């Protein structure tokens, strides 16, 4: 069924109106009166609608029911990724959205090569949020993941530690496995991974001191754009999402 994202504030009591690009998209799909569509408010609620009237520049929908978005994961997973070079952040934002992440938060760490200053940060963040919105639409998400840039490593660790399972992935960890870390039931998870150069020992200790579980992602060294997606897929599997 065709899905359209619409701000909750634009959805009236019992009706909604598609205009602009959304109306053009509906026309491309040759939607007509009586056809069913889903409106998503991007915050986890879906509205089941029927097309009521079709005009050249707007389409009026009758809202029949609403409920939690069926495509959203039962667990809330926040992906914390250290700044990485090139289009690696874009790649992870797109794939993590498809895989069901609730938030993607980027942060600086000692070995990050990429640095963001005020202006470039604003531009990058706008672009990253658009990538999340477009991936959410393509993958049929009911929620558009929030993309954030955190100002320091310390802020990232403090934020990541606030979860039932706060997992810090260290490439030199040889004891604690992801299987063990996910053995007990959980509803909120933080996944933290480092940049191309990995983490400094003192960064690992700071995460441990904040109560995060330092964890391995197996015997092979994954690239910084592979690790978050590997961890996210494993968490979704453990949560029964697949
Ligand atoms: N410096 C490393 C590469 C770092 S990979 C090297 O080339 O040797 C980037 C990040 O991915 C790491 O900081 C870690 O967070 C995660 N990662 C990669 N492989 C991992 C593994 N086997 N176990 C745990 N984390 C891993």
Backbone angles phi, psi at 211, to 5 degrees: 95, 10
Q: Which atom of ligand 1 approaches the CA of 194 most closely?
A: 13
Q: What is the pLDDT of residues 121-137, one digit of tens each?
A: 899 999 999 999 999 99
Expressed in angstroms and rounded, the spacing between residue 230 Cα and the centre of ligand 1 is 11
| Residues in contact with 147: Cβ distance below 8 Å, sequence separation at least 6, in sequence order | 93, 103, 104, 105, 106, 125, 128, 129, 131, 132
Q: Is a pLDDT exceeding 90 seen at residue 56?
A: no
Q: Which atom of ligand 1 approaches the CA of 192 most closely?
A: 15
Q: Which two tokens stand for residue 102?
A: 């609730």
Q: What is the pLDDT of residues 71-130, one digit of tens each?
A: 999 999 999 999 999 999 999 999 999 999 999 999 999 999 887 888 888 999 999 999
Q: What is the pLDDT of residue 116?
A: 80
Distance from chain centroid for Cα 55: 35
- Name the residue at shortest CA distance from atom 7 of ligand 1: 197
Q: Comparing 9-13, 134-138, 206-210, which segment has the lowest mean pLDDT?
A: 9-13
Give yes or no for a contact between 51 and 61, defined as CB atoms under 8 angstroms apart: yes
Q: Is a pLDDT exceeding 90 seen at residue 234?
A: yes
CA distance 63 to 24: 20
88-98 and 118-139 helices, crossing angle to 10°? 30
Cβ 169 under 6 angstroms from ligand 1:
yes
Q: Which two tokens stand for residue 141?
A: 């998400």
Q: Which atom of ligand 1 approaches the CA of 219 most closely?
A: 22
């Amino acid at each position: 069924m065709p899905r359209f994202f619409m701000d909750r504030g634009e959805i009236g009591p019992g009706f909604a109106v598609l205009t602009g690009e959304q109306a053009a998209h509906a026309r491309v799909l040759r939607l007509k009166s009586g056809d069913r569509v889903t409106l998503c408010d991007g915050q986890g609620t879906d509205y089941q609608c029927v097309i009521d009237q079709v005009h050249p520049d707007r389409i009026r929908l009758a809202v029949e029911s609403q409920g939690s978005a069926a495509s959203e994961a039962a667990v809330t997973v926040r992906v914390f990724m250290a700044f990485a070079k090139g289009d690696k952040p874009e790649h992870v934002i797109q794939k993590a959205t498809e895989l069901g992440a609730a938030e993607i938060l980027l942060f600086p760490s000692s070995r990050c090569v990429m640095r963001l200053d005020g202006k470039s940060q604003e531009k990058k963040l706008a672009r990253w949020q658009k990538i999340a919105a477009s991936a959410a639409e393509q993958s049929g998400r009911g929620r558009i993941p929030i993309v954030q840039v955190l100002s320091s490593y310390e802020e990232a660790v403090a934020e990541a530690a606030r979860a039932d399972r706060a997992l810090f992935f260290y490439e030199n960890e040889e004891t604690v496995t992801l299987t063990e870390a996910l053995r007990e039931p959980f509803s909120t998870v933080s996944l933290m991974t480092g940049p191309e150069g990995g983490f400094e020992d003192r960064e690992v200790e700071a995460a441990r001191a904040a109560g995060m579980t330092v964890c391995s992602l197996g015997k092979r060294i994954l690239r910084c754009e592979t690790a978050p997606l590997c961890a996210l897929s494993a968490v979704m599997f453990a949560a029964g999402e697949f």
